[in-house]
């Protein structure tokens, strides 16, 4: 299963995608400072995800993050219903409208890095640009291994 980012292709197992989505939903629903957790995404408030979706991970196959004042963030429930109704794809797509916002990419990868439990090498990020490498390294010390400037793997 692929998570597609600008200049990124991340390969995850199905279980890892489910874990990642559950984690994102749990962050949204906790009483933590959501703005602090998601500051790079510029999310101003936590959306409400209906409980039935949390217990039906197959329906949480597509999720979008939008940030910036001109974008409204769709909830996991809305996007899951879209996929359920239209059967578009099994891919999980994460889109950043402003691809120059390196902090958002790095923050997402930092969250992603927590969810490679079974086979850490199943998470492979290709087609890096140097500026992304530098930013990811800053946000995720001792997590990612860099090779030849165009390959990043989670460190075992």
Single pTM value for the model: 0.22
The 3-state DSSP class for residue 53 equals helix
Which pLDDT value is given to residue 65?
34
Q: What is the predicted pLDDT for the residue at 68?
A: 26
Q: What angle do CA 45, 46, 49 make, to 5 degrees?
A: 150
pLDDT under 50 in the chain at which residues? Answer: 1-22, 24-156
pLDDT of residue 117: 36
- Give yes or no for a contact between 80 and 53, defined as CB atoms under 8 angstroms apart: yes
The torsion region of residue 68 among left (phi > 0), alpha (psi -120 to 50) and beta comes to left
Q: Kindly state the tokens that stand for 115.
A: 């969810």
Question: What is the C-alpha separation between 156 and 146, in angstroms, rounded?
Answer: 13
């Amino acid at each position: 299963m692929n998570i597609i980012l600008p200049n990124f292709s991340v390969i995850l197992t199905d279980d890892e995608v489910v874990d990642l989505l559950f984690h994102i939903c749990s962050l949204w629903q906790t009483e933590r400072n959501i703005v602090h957790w998601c500051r790079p995404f510029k999310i101003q408030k936590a959306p409400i995800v209906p409980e039935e979706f949390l217990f039906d991970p197959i329906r949480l196959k597509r999720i979008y993050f939008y940030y910036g004042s001109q974008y409204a963030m769709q909830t996991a429930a809305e996007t899951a219903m879209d996929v359920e109704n239209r059967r578009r794809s099994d891919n999980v797509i994460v889109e950043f409208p402003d691809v120059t916002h390196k902090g958002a990419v790095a923050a997402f990868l930092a969250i992603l890095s927590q969810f490679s439990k079974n086979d850490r090498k199943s998470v492979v990020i290709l087609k890096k640009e140097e500026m992304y490498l530098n930013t990811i390294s800053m946000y995720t010390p001792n997590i990612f291994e860099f090779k030849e400037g165009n390959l990043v793997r989670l460190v075992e």
